[in-house]
Structure 1
Amino acid sequence: MLKPGAVAGLAASILAVVFVASSLVACQLFPEIDPISSLPEPRPTAQPTAQPTVGPASVQEFRSNLRGDPPTLDPNLSSWDATAAVVSLVFEGLFKFDDKQTLAPAVATEVPTVENGGISADGKVYTIHLRDDALWSDGQPVRAGDFEFSLKRLLDPKLRSDNASSFYDISGARAYNTALGTPRAPVTRTDMALAGLRDAVGVKALDERTLRITLSDPRASFPMLLALVPASPIRQDILTASGDTWFQDPASYVGNGPFRLAEWVRRDHITLVPNASYAGPRPKLNKIVLNMVIDPQADFAAYVNGEREVVAVPPQQIQAVRNDPSLSKQLVIDSRMATFALQLNNRKPPFDDPKIRQAFSLAVDRAAFIHSAHLGIGKPAYSWIPPGVPGHAPELGKQWAFDPMRARATLAEGGYPEGKGLPPITFEYANTGNNPLYAEFFQDQFKTNLGVDVQLEPMEPAAFTRYVNEARHMIGLFGFGGDYPDPDNWLPSFFRSDGPDNKAGYFNKDVDALMSRAIVEPDVTKRTQLWAEAQQTIVGDAPIIFLYYDERYVLVKPYVVNLRVTPMDTNSVPGNRSLDGVYLLQH
């Protein structure tokens, strides 16, 4: 689970319910900025301005920033952005995502399918073959047993990994992971009983190069989970010898990725160097220095002063960067694979009526929110799946785009002309960051465009989270940052009736049926159509008010070659997934 405010990592990263807008929290009121129409269009990445005859720099040192000291570098416990940024460079899983966010083999020889024999006819058994040249940084071969150990350790109830529940599709995984209960309701088990549950988990190394994973039910997107950081291989012998602090010492922090840990100076920096045993092409960079500057303004200043090769632009500096003749040429704008919305409690009147939800959606000027309240960051959203994720439909949901006249007419059709007769409506929010300003913006929208008075209810963040979890709210701000590019990561959790993040209480039996079919459908074309039908139905019901797709603004030095900023990168180190191929020109 990704942590808001220090986001990155894995599984269902709900930036939700507290809506601190992670890196978008600004320290000032609404500044004058250019209209949305003048924002630069996204482009691949800053290209070197040097002449083609200029060769590589003699010093290949890439400098970036983690925004703080990682709480851990343990792959199984990777729930923080800084952790994921480092682990993704030191470890390599069975699969990875290529430049087009398509699943590709990494340590595995191929992506399993029914056709190549990697997936059984019933979709429950995966047989994955490993490359015979994959090595650990100490020269030992990567074995199937290293993946078995890692996945079972991830599910170990004593480890209490936030990421474990994402792998409950594996046979026996839930039973093992929940065997000790919860901190509030603990369950006592003998070591023998736990060992039995561990052995029953459906992950088995058949030999040194073959891994078999058995699921309790088919899930077509399951291989994507094996491409995420928490599913990285881990050596049992290393942990046995070094204990729980194995990741703190470069000597015992043995990985199989393109880089290895050279030093970790707490609260200062981490240094990575090439892994000489890496099975893939040797990185061109000789050193990566990841600083730990918490202040984004100080990090930005370091880039301007020539002390960074890449930096995430603080929201307050975006306008200045756009106006700067040099920095504007180094600017990269990319989707963060995150969507933000207003949650409507479908269980409570009047939001149990789709007509009323539609009216409220029509009353929101998303472009005005982005422009005046959000520093011009983001693109208006009318559906849930964001750009960069298969299933994104740019035109879907525009029937609920800002239209005050239709909003009032729709409210009247729902039985509340000019808002007369509506029950009291409250807007709850976590009283932190810019949330009060956002709440006031929407309060004004509903009053001006719909004629409805909405009472604001600021709350302490933890209390707000409990309030939403108990389904007591009416309207709330929330957002979601995805972990992998598939509708499976976006729709079921929020819009299936039994979805763990369905705090809106939305229910549509047709949507449930479509998603149940899509989850198990192996045929990509059929599966895509099922997800499309499900999202179209969801958007028609308007269970929430889709607000905006998040963006990130990144500066890349013109002498940096091959850095690709993608929606799946960590927030702290943009382009981290391409650093194995990056090099620097003379400058």
Structure 2
Amino acid sequence: VLGVVALSACSQPTPKVVEKVVEKEVTKVVEKGVTKVVEKEVEKTVVVEVTPTPPPEPVTLRGYSTTDIPSLDPQVAEDVVSINNIESLFVHLTNYDLATADIVPETATSWDISDDGLTYTFHLRTDIPWVKHNPVTGETTQEMDDDGNPRFVTANDFVYGIKRACDPNLGSYYSSVIAPLIVGCEDVLGAEDPDNIPQELIDAIGVEAPDDATLIVHLPFPASYFLSMTPMWTLAAVPQWAIEANGEKWIEAGNIVTDGRFVLNEWVHGVRRTLLRNPLMPKDMYGDGNIEKMVTNVVPDTSTGYALWLNNEVENSGIPDAELQGHLEKYKDETIQVPDLAVFYFGFRETKAPFDDPRVRRAFSAAFDREKFVQEVRQGQGLPMKHFAPPGIFGAPPIDEVGVGYDPEFAQQQLADAGYPNCEGFPVVTLLGYSGQSTLNWIEFAQKQWEEHLGCSPDVIQIEQQSFRELLGATAADVDDAEAPNMWTLGWGPDYPDENNWVGDVLWCDNPGNRMKRTCNEIDDMIIQAREETDPDKRIEMYKQIEEDFFGEDGEMPFAPLYLRIAFVAQHSWLTAPRALFGGDQFYNWSIDQAAQMSAMGK
């Protein structure tokens, strides 16, 4: 079904009845035999129509998405679509400054760090209400406890959320990201019997609330990057009573209880979602923007979304590769370059032949001309990458110093050494990509590269495409090798500005999100050492070696890093949209010139 933005029509206001008007009445008066006519004013009720002033239309951000929201649960979310919406619906412990990426207060107004770096004490504001929005009546009301008292966000709500993130039964990807940083969390996450976790293990998780306004987090080692993780959704406060009452359905419209700048008014899965401003939010937390309503329709692909932008039906849009040059010539003043630190790659299932051989993985990586791909397929929107972490991340190696990258002679030799000279005898493999023409262009380019440099016929690389959500499910670590694809397209954008978020949170072998099914080795030992090292210079050297061990000539090559995305976005001039490098987009800081928007819409 083609999702189209429904524009509100201007209906005629209902007339108002006014019951008062003046009319003349004639009375005869007899005075000394003389009849005189006297005019007297009296009141008589009649109906007059008065048109009332219609209420102003809310300032509305109209957008599209090529996928439904996988989850609105802060402890479960792992993708950019979910995280962007959660950023609007929930507040976090801290936040990122849009201009500097510094950590700034949000629920926590201040914090103290112990001298040994093992204890963080957060001081919280206590005036943020828990609210529920009724999609039928349109009312947003504050939640009440069993005694009839209004509920506000407390430190115990954070304790519940963090302990919940440590629960292995939740199946959260980001549980493994936060678990190493919180005392006792890994013990619970790795419990032998997830259905019968001893209460003493749960009680030992290193997070406590001595009072409503104080949250204390205990770390097992002095992680210098922990504070940069505190804006993460996984550590957010969540409403225990609502979750226990509704189970997995607690995130649906009408059930969900939130504490953020917006409320969920509508969520028609796979079709549309609508968010409205939370009228009960403390005014000083509203943000700098003026958006009052957000309507997002699900469409099949970027080309459909771009057509909506051309028709002034959405505020911004991605630009299809085939349209980019023409767009830049015609709409130069309505095009922005969005800062982006996302790196895209071809993932390899290391436990499934023929990619169980690192020489095959190295061959397929080195046979891909990244520079040509960026110029011809991406229309210059990117930088070639031959290792994982990009510039701007602490600990990332210089972009041109680590990794093999494109080397067709090396690729041919590696494939021959693996027993497939000129791709002879190479089995048929599957390559799973996102749905959409842009990804298909990417995959077909790779097919041609592998045919040209390795001798592998396109028939050997069977292409499949699925939605982003389906792809995540098909490549999950717990999917049997027989059902999993050999290769897939995927990308990673940073959650916090540290190399640990790349090699540690994506490639570490004990990560439940280990899609490549890596086997633990000495590289993983170094990953642990690097995250616990307090000397920044030593950490930088260790991460450089880790990247070399993964992507160098003798590297494991768990996936083939391809490019760092640089995105051009079509954006109408009436929208001001400062972008976030880390965490979700802060739509509460976006603004629209409504008069200009309405004019473009013909209103």
TM-score (normalised: structure 2)? 0.68
Q: How well do the aligned residues superpose, as a CA RMSD in angstroms? A: 4.5
Instruction: State how far apart, in whole Å, the 1-side matches of 2:323 and 2:502 are.
Output: 31
Identity %: 23
Deviations 1:416-460 (A, max 9, x none): 699869984457323565788766644543554466889825387
Q: Are 1:302 and 2:308 matched, yes or no?
A: yes
Q: Are 1:205 and 2:204 matched, yes or no?
A: no
Partner of 1:290: 295
Instruction: Give the C-alpha shift of residue 124 in structure 1.
Output: 4.0
Instruction: State how far apart, in whole Å, the 2-side matches of 1:362 and 1:254 are.
Output: 49
Out of 247, 253, 258, which is 1:255 matched to?
Answer: 258
Partner of 1:329: 334
Instruction: Give the C-alpha shift of residue 128 in structure 1.
Output: 2.2
Partner of 1:550: 565
Mapped contact 2:262–2:277 kept (Cα < 8 A): yes
**Aligned-partner SS, 2:290:** coil
Q: Are 1:145 and 2:156 matched, yes or no?
A: yes
Partner of 1:531: 543
Q: Are 1:580 and 2:579 matched, yes or no?
A: no
Greater fraction of residues in strand:
2
Instruction: State how far apart, in whole Å, the 1-side matches of 2:580 and 2:68 are.
Output: 23
Instruction: Give the C-alpha shift of residue 145 in structure 1.
Output: 0.9
Please, which runs of 5 or more residues in structure 1 have no aligned partner? Answer: 1-56, 182-186, 571-575
Out of 574, 584, 597, which is 1:559 matched to?
Answer: 574
Instruction: State how far apart, in whole Å, the 2-side matches of 1:463 and 1:585 are.
Output: 43
1:377-526 alignment, distance < 5 Å:
377-397=381-401, 400-404=404-408, 407=410, 411=413, 424-426=425-427, 428-430=429-431, 433=435, 441-442=445-446, 444-446=448-450, 448-449=452-453, 456-458=460-462, 470=481, 476-484=487-495, 485-493=497-505, 495-496=507-508, 501=514, 503=516, 505=518, 509=522, 511-526=523-538
Instruction: Give the C-alpha shift of residue 107 in structure 1.
Output: 1.6
Partner of 1:43: none
Instruction: State how far apart, in whole Å, the 2-side matches of 1:359 and 1:242 are.
Output: 50
Instruction: Give the C-alpha shift of residue 359 in structure 1.
Output: 6.6
Instruction: State how far apart, in whole Å, the 1-side matches of 2:291 and 2:477 are.
Output: 48
Partner of 1:12: none
Partner of 2:85: 86
Change (3 A) 1:72 1:431: closer
Larger Rg: 2
Instruction: Give the C-alpha shift of residue 380 in structure 1.
Output: 1.5
Partner of 1:164: 175
Instruction: State how far apart, in whole Å, the 1-side matches of 2:68 and 2:479 are.
Output: 31
Change (3 A) 1:272 1:523: farther
Instruction: State how far apart, in whole Å, the 2-side matches of 1:357 and 1:245 are.
Output: 41
Partner of 1:104: 104
Instruction: State how far apart, in whole Å, the 2-side matches of 1:65 and 1:257 are.
Output: 22
**Aligned-partner SS, 1:400:** coil
Change (3 A) 1:586 1:532: farther
Instruction: Give the C-alpha shift of residue 148 in structure 1.
Output: 0.8
Instruction: State how far apart, in whole Å, the 1-side matches of 2:81 and 2:483 are.
Output: 34
Instruction: Give the C-alpha shift of residue 142 in structure 1.
Output: 2.6
Mapped contact 1:274–1:285 kept (Cα < 8 A): no
Q: Are 1:127 and 2:116 matched, yes or no?
A: no
Instruction: State how far apart, in whole Å, the 1-side matches of 2:571 and 2:428 are.
Output: 40
Change (3 A) 1:464 1:167: closer
AA partner of residue 310 (structure 2): V
Partner of 2:47: none
Instruction: Give the C-alpha shift of residue 229 in structure 1.
Output: 1.9
Instruction: State how far apart, in whole Å, the 2-side matches of 1:223 and 1:529 are.
Output: 22
Instruction: State how far apart, in whole Å, the 1-side matches of 2:240 and 2:423 are.
Output: 61
Instruction: State how far apart, in whole Å, the 1-side matches of 2:371 and 2:345 are.
Output: 13
Change (3 A) 1:566 1:71: closer
Between 298-307 and 536-545, report the one with greater CA deviation: 536-545
Instruction: Give the C-alpha shift of residue 558 in structure 1.
Output: 1.0
Instruction: State how far apart, in whole Å, the 2-side matches of 1:527 and 1:536 are.
Output: 14
Change (3 A) 1:288 1:194: farther
Change (3 A) 1:65 1:387: farther
Out of 146, 150, 154, which is 2:165 matched to?
Answer: 154
AA partner of residue 431 (structure 2): A
TM-score (normalised: structure 1)? 0.70
Between 392-401 and 376-385, report the one with greater CA deviation: 392-401
Higher relative contact order (CA 8 A, sep 6+): 1
Change (3 A) 1:400 1:76: closer
Question: Number of aligned pairs?
Answer: 504
Instruction: Give the C-alpha shift of residue 357 in structure 1.
Output: 6.9
Instruction: State how far apart, in whole Å, the 2-side matches of 1:67 and 1:199 are.
Output: 42
**Aligned-partner SS, 1:553:** strand
**Aligned-partner SS, 1:490:** helix
Instruction: State how far apart, in whole Å, the 1-side matches of 2:310 and 2:402 are.
Output: 40
**Aligned-partner SS, 2:306:** helix
Mapped contact 2:63–2:295 kept (Cα < 8 A): yes
1:6-405 alignment, distance < 5 Å:
60-67=59-66, 70=69, 72-79=71-78, 81-99=80-98, 100-110=100-110, 116=112, 118-119=113-114, 121=116, 123-131=117-125, 134-136=128-130, 138=142, 140-156=151-167, 159-169=170-180, 170-177=182-189, 181=193, 189=196, 195-216=199-220, 219-239=223-243, 245-249=249-253, 253-262=256-265, 267-278=271-282, 280-283=284-287, 284-296=289-301, 297-324=303-330, 326=331, 329-335=334-340, 337-341=342-346, 343=348, 361-372=365-376, 377-397=381-401, 400-404=404-408
Instruction: Give the C-alpha shift of residue 211 in structure 1.
Output: 1.3
Change (3 A) 1:105 1:80: same
Change (3 A) 1:220 1:565: same
Mapped contact 1:337–1:568 kept (Cα < 8 A): no
Please, which runs of 5 or more residues in structure 2 have no aligned partner? Answer: 1-55, 132-141, 143-149, 465-470, 597-603
Instruction: State how far apart, in whole Å, the 2-side matches of 1:474 and 1:241 are.
Output: 38
Change (3 A) 1:242 1:94: same
Change (3 A) 1:317 1:390: farther
Between 171-180 and 331-340, report the one with greater CA deviation: 171-180
Mapped contact 1:381–1:547 kept (Cα < 8 A): yes
AA partner of residue 260 (structure 1): V
Instruction: State how far apart, in whole Å, the 2-side matches of 1:162 and 1:496 are.
Output: 13
Instruction: State how far apart, in whole Å, the 2-side matches of 1:567 and 1:109 are.
Output: 22
Change (3 A) 1:377 1:143: same
